[in-house]
């Protein structure tokens, strides 16, 4: 397996692949790889000749120093895990902060037509500037034909499609279904940090989303939102940050449902000091 940590190395590698007419997929990650990531990698392997997996904990998308510091970093295990999937067609790019930011670790400011101000953008100021900065940089360096992102970060996926459109980046953005633990908890690198009792409590998040989906056929978005908020009042270990039913395209909170539109419910919850997000398609 080819493993690179410098821009120059990955640049000459992908240039050679392109000259050879090979189709390149990109799976950007922050490492601490789990089964959800591996699903993205497997899908990318089916649809491309070579797949670059980037592993980089991007400091500019964290708005909480403690979260950045505690974010799991497991490069050796990540590489071993990727080797179990495919040794020949995966290329790992695990750069240093300097390699990505050239000594200037700040993000570019983006206008994603308001998508960046909703939900995660409202609760994590600057987050999507950081994500946009790093993903754009990976697109410029790797020049992938296709790039793969999980629907767990549905707002991120929507924003990255907007990024590619706005900057005319010739990449096909592929969204992949949320991968869940058998108990329903959406897979996330942060799950490894959950203490056992919080891990036991966390599946309540997806159960509540499923119940909200059930109610969506007959109840208003407002009444479902109030119901979800009331469900969390009695949850000792889980603290609801937001539950929002939003238009899938604009990500704006729905006021009045329309049969012509599609909606999703989005949720962010603290389990101890660990922030978990999830979402579900409602119609």
Active site residues: 37
Smallest Cα–Cα separation from 11: which of 195, 139, 186, 122?
A: 139
Residue matched to tokens 């100021």: 125
For residue 34, what are the contacts with CB-CB under 8 A and spacing of at least 6? 179, 187, 188, 189, 191, 192
Tokens of 182: 């058998």
Give the number of other Cβ atoms within 10 Å of residue 189's Cβ: 19
CA dist 246 and 7 (Å) reads: 39
Smallest Cα–Cα separation from 68: which of 273, 281, 240, 282?
A: 273
Q: Nearest distance from residue 152's CB to ligand PAF, in Å? A: 8
Tokens of 35: 């089964």
Question: Is 131 one of the binding residues for ligand PAF (CB under 6 A)?
Answer: yes
Judged by CB under 6 A, the stretch of 2-10, 26-34, 103-111, 257-265 that binds ligand PAF is 26-34
Q: Nearest distance from residue 175's CB to ligand PAF, in Å? A: 12
Question: Is 28 one of the binding residues for ligand PAF (CB under 6 A)?
Answer: yes
CA dist 230 and 52 (Å) reads: 44
Among 116, 120, 151, 153, binds ligand PAF (CB under 6 A): 153
Of residues 176 and 254, the one with the C-beta less far from ligand PAF: 176
Q: Nearest distance from residue 114's CB to ligand PAF, in Å? A: 20
Q: What is the DSSP letter of 130?
A: H
Question: Is 134 one of the binding residues for ligand PAF (CB under 6 A)?
Answer: yes
Judged by CB under 6 A, the stretch of 22-30, 214-222, 250-258, 263-271 that binds ligand PAF is 22-30
> Mask of contacts with ligand PAF, 199-238, x by CB under 6 A?
----------------------------------------
Question: Is 188 one of the binding residues for ligand PAF (CB under 6 A)?
Answer: no
Tokens of 60: 């500019």
For residue 197, what are the contacts with CB-CB under 8 A and spacing of at least 6? 237
Among 39, 48, 58, 225, binds ligand PAF (CB under 6 A): 58
Q: Give the interface with ligand PAF as residue ranges (CB under 6 A).
A: 28-30, 58, 61, 131, 134-135, 153, 156
């Amino acid at each position: 397996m080819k493993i690179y940590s410098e821009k120059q190395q990955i640049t000459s590698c992908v240039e050679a692949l392109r000259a050879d007419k090979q189709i390149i997929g990109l799976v950007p990650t922050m490492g601490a790889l789990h089964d959800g990531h591996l699903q993205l990698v497997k899908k990318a392997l089916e649809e491309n000749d070579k797949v670059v997996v980037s592993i980089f904990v991007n400091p500019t998308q964290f708005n909480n120093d403690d979260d950045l510091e505690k974010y799991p970093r497991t490069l050796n295990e990540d590489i071993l895990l990727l080797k179990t999937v495919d040794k020949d067609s995966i290329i790992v790019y695990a750069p240093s902060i300097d390699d990505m930011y050239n000594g200037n670790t700040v993000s570019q400011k983006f206008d994603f037509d308001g998508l960046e101000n909703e939900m995660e953008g409202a609760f994590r100021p600057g987050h999507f500037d950081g994500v946009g900065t790093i993903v754009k940089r990976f697109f410029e360096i790797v020049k992938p034909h296709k790039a793969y992102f999980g629907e767990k970060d549905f707002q991120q996926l929507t924003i990255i499609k907007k990024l590619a459109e706005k900057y005319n980046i010739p990449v096909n953005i592929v969204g992949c279904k949320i991968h869940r633990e058998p108990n329903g908890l959406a897979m996330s690198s942060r799950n490894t940090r959950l203490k056992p009792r919080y891990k036991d409590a966390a599946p309540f998040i997806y159960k509540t989303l499923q119940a909200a989906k059930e109610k969506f056929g007959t109840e208003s978005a407002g009444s479902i939102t109030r119901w979800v908020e009331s469900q969390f009042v009695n949850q000792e270990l889980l603290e609801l940050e937001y539950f929002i039913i939003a238009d899938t395209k604009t990500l704006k909170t729905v006021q009045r449902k329309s049969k012509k539109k599609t909606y999703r419910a989005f949720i962010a919850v603290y389990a101890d000091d660990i922030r978990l997000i999830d979402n579900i398609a409602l119609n």
